[in-house]
Amino acid sequence: MTRIIAFFNQKGGTAKTTSTLNVAAALAERGQRVLTIDLDPQASLSMAIGTDVAHLQQSVYDLLLDEDVTIADVIQPTTIAGIDIVPSHPDLAAAELELLNVLERERQLDHRLKSADLGAYDYVLIDSPPALNIISINILVAIDELVIPIEPHPLSLMVLKRLFETIRKISRLNPDLKVVGFLPTKVHHSSRLAQDMLVQLEEQFPQLPLLPSIPLSVRGAESTAERTSVLQYMPKSNVAAAYRDVGAWLEERNDDR
């Protein structure tokens, strides 16, 4: 069974894109076949993975808004073995308005994924926009599992309330949605503040596990500029090792199901 997992947090800069890319790379390293879907109009994941966004014929925008476009039409290979992508495009910013006139506008992504043959993939990993909008709702309705990348910072906890309210509201549309847990990112290990926040997170959400933490490191930013993953760019770095731990953690969880 293909597992459909989104990295979602409506707050920007929580390393959703970096995590989607590097967890995909970690799973691919383990021999898993991964499809990534970029649902952020900023197309950061698409660019980071090496897609020539300016010259795309079709993108995730067409997939969402044109009923005749199937996922097979928009999948592109990447330079990382084992990873394909449905790239994004700045046009996606207009989808918010255009979807207003579409019947079942919250279910467009779900319909496209359900009608597709995803058998070639073990995982579909979705990168999300930093917003709680129609695109985000489409993501939350379409996925099986949600990973919440979170920076250990006081403001990070505040946005979680709205996120969980939204998840509760859409539970009618996606009753099986499973929140996998929090992925602490950009964690400064010697920072008291960061450690306190992680403790608070565990206290406030005792039922939700913390995934292996990703340390704060310039390697994350550097690899994006190199248009590849940290696992390729700096395979021995602590960030690469941490993302490998996250890949293993997710795989273990699959064995439990």
Strands (E) located in 39-162: 76-77, 83-86, 123-127, 145-150
| β-pairing verdict for 83-86 and 123-127 | unpaired
- How do 76-77 and 83-86 pair as beta strands? antiparallel
Residue 224 near Mg ion by CB under 5 A: no
18 binds, among ligand ADP, Mg ion, none (CB under 5 to 8 A by kind): ligand ADP
Within residues 38-77, the interface with Mg ion by CB under 5 A covers: 44
Structure tokens at 218: 């310039």
How big is the chain by its Cα radius of gyration, in Å?
17
The b-or-e profile of 52-70 (16+ CB within 10 A means b, else e) is ebeebeebbbbbbbeeebe
Half-sphere exposure of 163 (CA within 13 A, CB side): 22
Nearest to 96, CA basis, from 142, 132, 127, 141: 132
Two structure tokens written together for 45:
């994941």
221 counts as binding ligand ADP under rule CB under 6 A: yes
Contact call for residue 36 and Mg ion (CB under 5 A): no
Q: Does residue 14 interact with ligand ADP by CB under 6 A?
A: yes
Does 152 participate in binding ligand ADP (rule CB under 6 A)?
Answer: no
Q: Which of 88, 136, 217, 229 binds ligand ADP (CB under 6 A)?
A: 217
> Per CB under 6 A, which region of 7-15, 60-68, 72-80, 173-181 contacts ligand ADP?
7-15
Is 244 a residue that touches ligand ADP (CB under 6 A)? Answer: no
Judged by CB under 6 A, the chain residues 34 through 73 that form the site for ligand ADP are: 44
Query: 82 forms bridges with which residues in the sheet?
Result: none
Q: Does 138 bind ligand ADP (CB under 6 A)?
A: no
Verify binding: residue 136, ligand ADP, rule CB under 6 A: no
Binding status of residue 10 toward Mg ion by CB under 5 A: no
**83 closest CA partner among 236, 242, 232:** 232
Nearer to ligand ADP, 39 or 216 (CB): 216
Q: Is 184 in the site for ligand ADP (CB under 6 A)?
A: no
Under a CB-based contact definition with an 8 Å cutoff, are residues 73 and 58 in contact?
Answer: yes
DSSP bridge pairs for 146? 6, 179
Closest CB to ligand ADP among residues 16, 89: 16
Sites for ligand ADP among residues 68-127 (CB under 6 A): none
Q: Map tokens 């940290």 to a residue.
A: 230
Interface stretch with Mg ion, choices 8-16, 24-32, 139-147, 220-228 (CB under 5 A):
8-16
216 counts as binding ligand ADP under rule CB under 6 A: yes
**Footprint of Mg ion on this chain (CB under 5 A)?**
16-17, 44
**Footprint of ligand ADP on this chain (CB under 6 A)?**
12-18, 44, 130, 185-186, 214, 216-217, 220-221, 224, 239
